[in-house]
Amino acid sequence: MATFDYDLFVIGGGSGGVRAARMAAETGAKVALAEEYRMGGTCVIRGCVPKKLMVFASHYGSAAADARDYGWDFEGGSFNWSRFQPALHAELDRLEGIYRQNLANAGAKIHNARATVKDPHTVALSTGKEVSAKHILIATGGAPYVPHFDGCNLAITSNDIFNLETFPERILIVGGGYIACEFATIFRGLGAHVAQWYRGAQILRGFDDEVRGHLAELIRGHGVDLHVGLEVERMEKRGKRVWVKGTDGREDEFDQVLYATGRHPNTTGLGLAEAGVELGRWGEVKVDDYGQTSVPSIYAVGDVTNRIQLTPVAIREGMAFVETVFKGNPTKPDHELVPSAVFTTPEYGAVGLTEEQARKREPVDVYCAAFRPMQKSFIGRAERVLFKLIVSKASQKVLGCHIVADGAGEMIQLAAVALKMGATKADFDATVAVHPTMAEEIVLMKQPTRSH
């Protein structure tokens, strides 16, 4: 019987990999993990966590203006990047330390090195060492993608944004996905001049069409110079700024150009194909329902599989992997009715089907309400929130819920519980409203706005 250095070797120290390594080690398995950069992965170090802290920071300017309209007397201020950034990095250091400590407490060995797959049971480390493992788990996540064009080397990505030495007073954000839209409203809220260019016809492709249009109007209303059907043709360095020419002939200069044009699975140079692991068109690791690749001893979880690129999903996949491989309890990660939030200003929370997806499946009723919330209406703000339910005509089950409002991310988490339980429109109707709140509208929409 073959003997191995480890029962499990995890490549990648992000949320999915760390959770799998820790839980496997807690079963008594001998576990090691290799991370070439910093523990915590995209979410903790260069994604969800620092981004959300910037979202918080971006809200205080408008909150101060609102406070004055509510009767508060004080002098206005301005955002100080040099004060915020050190505090941000201190928090990321603290969280990274927790990740490392939790792994160590569980008994897992950490290799601060790049790891590649040599064969189905062998991992080669950048230190020159090779180790063997009964099982190998690929959890290397994704990486930002920048297309090739003249001057593309002048672009930065979400990997760089938190490490900028100076705050960009003028920034161009290229892309229309949730990362691009989030950073557009973040930097606008922090006081920058923001332009956003997207080559598609409307932002947030793949989300609900009605919400996409509503949110685009709100983003423009917050002062973002948003243009769709527009790409960058080329860029040049001119002095301290980047000169940009668009495909419609327009020219402008910016302190920074942030590309948020998608993410690709991080598998380049890992040796996976050479070891027999099947990869997809974008380099994603092909897996079955249990996370197993075409090589039986190699598994993968998280963004590297290009299924649902969300941190909680990667964590669930890591847990399902441990249940399957180390606890003898074959478990498929549940990818149905996964809630998500886009942390723009205002936020967009969604769970279940879009109106377009639902209409393709069956006849549906659509309930929708857009209104000025009390907090904003009182001080003359024009911004309108949006609440939307998509309901099956046949079963009356709520198939989708969409909310655009301050705190939508918090609201959608609770709505997701109801949808996961199979709630019907009658269940929503039978629930007493909490008054006065925005969220009460979700149980007060009695007549369909339209039916399909």
Just list the catalytic residues: 435
Sign of CA dihedral 194, 199, 205, 211: positive
What is the torsional sign of CA 257, 259, 260, 261? Answer: positive
Residue 149, both tokens: 């064009």
Q: How far apart are the first and last CA of the chain?
A: 62
Tokens 């007073």 -> residue: 169
Helix axes 15-26, 81-106, angle to 10 degrees: 30
